Structure 1
Amino acid sequence: MSINSIFQFLVPKDKKFFPLFEQAAQNLVVLAETLHEAVNVPKEEREAYFRKIEELENIIEDIAHKTNLELSRNFITPFDREDIHALISAIDDVADYLYGAASRMRLYQVEKITKSIRKMTEITLESCQLIQMAVADLKDMKNLKGIAEACKRINKLENKSDNVFDKAVADIFENETDAKNIIKYKEVLAALESASDKCKGVANVLESVTVKYS
């Protein structure tokens, strides 16, 4: 039995942090699903989705606050304190940028949703689903291979999102003549690309944790 295995055996089962991670990841998936649904409905129907996204972002932010509060109260934690803080902060960052994309569509009154925007919300949704799977496997540290595989797939999706973003921006500058529309679409696409980057940030934290316990 390794030293890490002995340590895990001796440390009491966590009843505070993992439930918070799971709640954050679950709400993140719902947020990503709601955004993907929002870009696939007519403009007049989007407002209800945008309101739901705002509510979900607030919920995740509150979970992040509760997690950091628990860190200040508890001496014993399931893994390194800095990794706990980094993980919940990274999940919160993804939610922030997804909300940012929705907020820009809402504030700028984006009429037409492009195929690139739909594709990027689809990619981010898949990344968020992988985050949820990896966070669930993190609970007992028994499926480190599964976490590593999820992180690998998230990294591939981030590269895919970058490619969609680059082609979409190039297409905007080539074909869009209205300067206002150029700004609108570029802002929305940039927020979605950043959300994908933040998903990779979550994967980086998860990989760091699994390396320490492998």
Structure 2
Amino acid sequence: MGGFNSFVKLFVPKDRVFYSLFEDVAATLVEMATVLVELVETKDISIRKDKANLIERLEHKNDDLTHRILVELSQNFITPFDREDIHYLASTLDDVADYIHGSSKRIDLYKVYDLNEHIRKLADLIYQGCVELSRAIPELRNMQNMRVITEACVKINSLENHADDIYDRAIADLFDEHSNNAGELIKMREIYQALELATDKCEDCANVIETIIIKYA
């Protein structure tokens, strides 16, 4: 089968490979975000550990895909859209993966077993943002369904605004509850920041996608 796939690839225009790679990245992000939601929903310590390890493996997979995009960018003379846009989209998608991984890693390392509603809400917003990216990115292949792309980008912007509000409330509650416990305050703030930054990066991805469709639609 592998030989057949290699044979088929000889007849695929070189610039088309970017679409497949970006779609693979988007699918991996949805998988990572799904596992993150599962991680924050369980109180079982061993299950959390397994989920954190799975997110780490998926993050490595995403790193490999991002590397392949950058290699293709360096080797291909023809690209489907501006080289800087391809580079920026790859980088921002990679940032989403990094912050999902960073969130799960902190939850695991800091042994924060009593996860609150703020964390669960932020994880869900990350998941929703990744789902919207996975809706928009395949549409870049032919740009026929511009409404799907624009609706996804608008939804991502709305999700990020919602995440900002939750983050602000989480930080306010944190200072109310742990004003005398600097260690707990620092740990929780780092987790909130990593989660909120993942939603910021989803919005950055949406902004790049909007830039691409304005140029080429």
Could you say which TM-score interval applies, normalised by the shorter chain? over 0.9
TM-score by length of 1: 0.92
> Deviation digits for residues 124-150 of structure 1, max 9, x if unmatched?
100000000000111111112211111
What is the DSSP-based 3-state SS (H/G/I as helix, E as strand, rest coil) of the residue aligned with 2:127?
helix
2:115 aligned partner, one-letter code: I
> Deviation digits for residues 131-173 of structure 1, max 9, x if unmatched?
0000011111111221111101100100000000000100010
Determine the structure 2 residue equivalent to 1:120: 122
Per-residue deviation at 1:178? 2.5
Aligned match for 1:184, one of 184, 187, 191: 187
Moved more, 135-144 or 192-201: 135-144
Identity level (%): 44
Determine the structure 2 residue equivalent to 1:107: 109
Determine the structure 2 residue equivalent to 1:162: 164
Structure 2: how far apart are the matches of 1:115 and 1:129? Answer: 21
Aligned match for 1:142, one of 141, 144, 152: 144
1:74 aligned partner, one-letter code: N
Per-residue deviation at 1:76? 0.6
Per-residue deviation at 1:184? 1.2
Determine the structure 2 residue equivalent to 1:89: 91
Determine the structure 2 residue equivalent to 1:207: 210
1:212 aligned partner, one-letter code: K
1:67 aligned partner, one-letter code: I
1:36 aligned partner, one-letter code: V
Per-residue deviation at 1:181? 1.4
Determine the structure 2 residue equivalent to 1:198: 201
Segments of structure 1 that go 5 or more residues without pairing to the other structure are 1-11
Structure 2: how far apart are the matches of 1:108 and 1:76? Answer: 47
Q: Is the 8 A contact 2:16 2:80 kept in 1?
A: no
> Deviation digits for residues 161-206 of structure 1, max 9, x if unmatched?
0000000100010122422211111110000011110000000100
Structure 2: how far apart are the matches of 1:185 and 1:171? Answer: 11
2:29 aligned partner, one-letter code: L
What is the DSSP-based 3-state SS (H/G/I as helix, E as strand, rest coil) of the residue aligned with 1:77?
coil
Structure 1: how far apart are the matches of 2:91 and 2:35? Answer: 21
Q: Which runs of 4+ in 1 moved over 4 A?
A: none
Aligned-residue Cα RMSD (Å) equals 1.1
What is the DSSP-based 3-state SS (H/G/I as helix, E as strand, rest coil) of the residue aligned with 1:16?
helix
What is the DSSP-based 3-state SS (H/G/I as helix, E as strand, rest coil) of the residue aligned with 1:39?
helix
Moved more, 48-57 or 139-148: 139-148
Structure 1: how far apart are the matches of 2:14 and 2:69? Answer: 16
Structure 2: how far apart are the matches of 1:122 and 1:111? Answer: 18
Segments of structure 2 that go 5 or more residues without pairing to the other structure are 1-12
Structure 2: how far apart are the matches of 1:138 and 1:151? Answer: 13
What is the DSSP-based 3-state SS (H/G/I as helix, E as strand, rest coil) of the residue aligned with 1:141?
coil
Structure 2: how far apart are the matches of 1:86 and 1:144? Answer: 21
What is the DSSP-based 3-state SS (H/G/I as helix, E as strand, rest coil) of the residue aligned with 2:199?
helix
Determine the structure 2 residue equivalent to 1:32: 33
Aligned match for 2:63, one of 56, 61, 69: 61
Structure 1: how far apart are the matches of 2:183 and 2:78? Answer: 53
Per-residue deviation at 1:34? 0.3
Report the count of equivalent residues. Answer: 203
Structure 1: how far apart are the matches of 2:88 and 2:147? Answer: 21
